Amino acid sequence: MSPSVSRTLTIIAASLLAFDGAALALMGWWGRRFILGLVGIVFFLSSGLVLLYWRWYRGRLDDISAARRALGEEARQMRELVRDSER
């Protein structure tokens, strides 16, 4: 999945979760229902966790791709070394 698609889907998911959380919190506050408001606050805060986890996930993917590039470079150098030693 491309980074732009991943970013778009993550932002949509976090936005929907934040909206639902804010709506539940307001309904709990207006209706004087503590548990509903608490659930809304938890949903709203979890939307931030979705964004934080996505950033961590993208960082890990970048680390993996850098390690793969380094491994490819090392393999290329080893092939050249073997090719040179055969001569």
Backbone dihedral angles phi then psi of residue 32, each to the nearest 5 degrees: 55, 45
Which pLDDT band holds residue 6 (cuts at 50, 70, 90)? Answer: confident
Q: Is the pLDDT of residue 34 over 90?
A: yes
pLDDT at 74: 95
pLDDT score of 87 more than 90: no
Look up the domain containing 73 and give its range: 3-86
pTM: 0.71
How many domains does the chain fold into?
Answer: 1
Q: Is 1 helix (H, G, I), strand (E, B) or coil?
A: coil
Measured on CA atoms in the order 43, 48, 49, 51, is the torsion positive or negative? Answer: positive
Task: Look up residue 31 and give its DSSP letter.
Answer: T
Per-residue model confidence as pLDDT tens digits over 57-73: 999 999 999 999 999 99
